Chain A
Amino acid sequence: DAKTTQPNSMESNEEEPVHLPCNHSTISGTDYIHWYRQLPSQGPEYVIHGLTSNVNNRMASLAIAEDRKSSTLILHRATLRDAAVYYCILRDRGATNKLIFGTGTLLAVQP
């Protein structure tokens, strides 16, 4: 399975934008890029996913590099409730539906 690399931790201030990077240099053409987040003592929560084009939804935006070797999850205005571990995951469109989680980025949001 293709691997992702994320910083262990990041800090942000409340109401400021947050850019969470993810490197996936071994991505294949059929891999989707998924982002999930896990708040303390909860199960992971789907955030967004994409293949080639940038994606927006009510939670976040996903910016995908032209060569697809990296992507960035953008939270437009961080709130205290966004403090969580954010996981960047590659999922093969064809073979299996399982998610392969890494260790993610722990985002701290300061008031």
Chain B
Amino acid sequence: GAGVSQSPRYKVAKRGQDVALRCDPISGHVSLFWYQQALGQGPEFLTYFQNEAQLDKSGLPSDRFFAERPEGSVSTLKIQRTQQEDSAVYLCASSPRLSAYEQYFGPGTRLTVT
């Protein structure tokens, strides 16, 4: 079946621009996660949704980062006034279970801020 999809796959933004990254989880998955992966590092947790409720946003690095999942399916990660340090791969993962012990990752969006 279809896996987690993310769009766009690549995004180049000028410093100061706003960007929106989309995640389409596997249909019916209740849990959704966003991670940020810098070059050569492991992914770092940003935020977690259970259906439409954002239960954990402790990993969002600043108030320029905002995520939503209004209908409990598609999610959008928005970054306002992008900075060079925001350059990274942004990964979305979903899980069918509330326990989320097995997370299914999308291919990621590579964001480059120039």
Contacts and interface: CB of A to CB of B under 8 A. Distances in A.
Given A98-B33, A98-B59, A42 B107 contact: yes
12 contacts: A34-B101, A42-B107, A43-B106, A49-B102, A93-B99, A97-B33, A97-B48, A97-B56, A97-B98, A98-B56, A99-B43, A100-B45
A11 interface: no
A68 interface: no
Which of B31, B42, B45, B100: most chain A Cβ within 10 A? Answer: B42
Contacts of B42: 85, 87, 101-104
Nearest to A98: B45
B55 to A, nearest CB: 8
A11 B37 CA distance: 24
A21 interface: no
Interface string B19-47: 00000000000010101000011111100
Contacts of B102: 46, 49
Interface residues of B, number: 27
Contacts of A44: 43, 91, 93, 103, 105
Contact of A46 (B59, B99, B104): B104
A93 B95 CA distance: 15
Q: Which 7 pairs across A and B sit closest by C-beta, in order of nearness?
A: A43-B105, A101-B42, A97-B100, A98-B45, A46-B102, A44-B105, A101-B43
A6 to B, nearest CB: 10
